[in-house]
Structure 1
Amino acid sequence: MADKSFRVEVVSADERLYSGDATMLVAQTTDGEVGILAGHAPLLGQLTEGGYIAITEADGDRRVAAVTGGFLSVSTDVVTILAETAEWAADVDVVAAEAALESAEPGSVEHQLAKSRLSAAAALAR
């Protein structure tokens, strides 16, 4: 399986959230949802506001992160996610995120962050 994996780096303005090997990555971009496998053609994409990424690790574990803004870069053997914000879906307080979504003005940073958190939590539950 090692020959079917690639390196994934997830970096936000605050921290390096993830660095590891994966067999698949799904990201929500402004052009739609993109699935990346080993050997994917080089690509540069803009991440959606209020979206998420899903990483299937080389050992088969699945991790989902809420990401807002930023870019996806695919090179020969590395996929880099440069996000404005990123956090693991498993750490999302769904009740707080729902309350934030309801109280935030549509289109605001708070609204996009709450939307991203809820999308990631829902994707993790799948």
Structure 2
Amino acid sequence: MSTVHTDIVTPAGKVYEGDVHMVCVRSKNGELGILPHHLPIVAPLEIALVRLKHEDEKQVDYVAVHGGFIQVSREKITILSEAAERKADIDVERAKKAKAEAEKQLDTLHETSEGYAEALKKLKRSELRLSTAALNDTVPEA
């Protein structure tokens, strides 16, 4: 089985670097599953989970990615995001607090109000952090 080198990079630096068998990510146009030697693409990403499956197909790394772009070449996958966090680096208490604050903001704002889109984005990010932190690091047996 072959692998592809994968980097996840933010303005603060590299969040992930390694060789993986498959990268699963949600683009603005839907889910992508990228294997080694994939045709080159560039796609905008949603605020979503990135799953990095290893060659043994039992271990998987999870990274919460807050938008950005994925660039795929035959030799390398690069994800550029304004923010990204590995599962182990997520502060669950901080994410719970951010979620409660975002929900409170959304309760007081109308969909057309200034600040509504930012509060919704904050809610999505905090929910992604919480769901990522709760994941298991192994792929279930079929």
TM-score by length of 1: 0.83
1:18 CA drift (Å): 1.5
Counterpart CA distance in 2 for 1:37 and 1:72 is: 14
For residues 65 and 37 of structure 1, what CA distance do their matches in structure 2 show? Answer: 17
Work out the CA distance in 1 between the residues paired with 2:100 and 2:27.
Answer: 24
1:66 touches 1:89 (CA, 8 Å); kept in 2?
yes
Q: Which runs of 5+ in 2 are unaligned?
A: 107-116
Q: Does 1:84 align with 2:82?
A: yes
Deviation at 1:72, TM superposition (A): 0.5
- Residues 27-84 of structure 1, C-alpha deviation per residue, up to 9 Å, x if partnerless? 11111121111121111111103x1211113455311011101101111110000011
Among 39, 45, 48, the alignment partner of 1:47 is 45
- Aligned residues of 2:25 and 2:49 also touching (Cα < 8 A): yes
User: Of 5, 8, 20, which residue of structure 1 is paired with 2:6?
Assistant: 8
What does residue 116 of structure 1 align with?
128
Question: 2:36 aligns to what?
Answer: 38
1:95-114 deviation digits (Å, cap 9, x = unpaired): 43233213214532532321
The sequence identity of aligned pairs, in percent, is 34
Deviations 1:7-41 (A, max 9, x none): 10110111111221110111111111211111211
How many residue pairs align between the two structures?
A: 122
Contact 1:53 1:120 in 2 (8 A): no
Q: Distance in 1 between matches of 2:66 and 2:85?
A: 10
Q: What amino acid is the match of 2:27? A: T
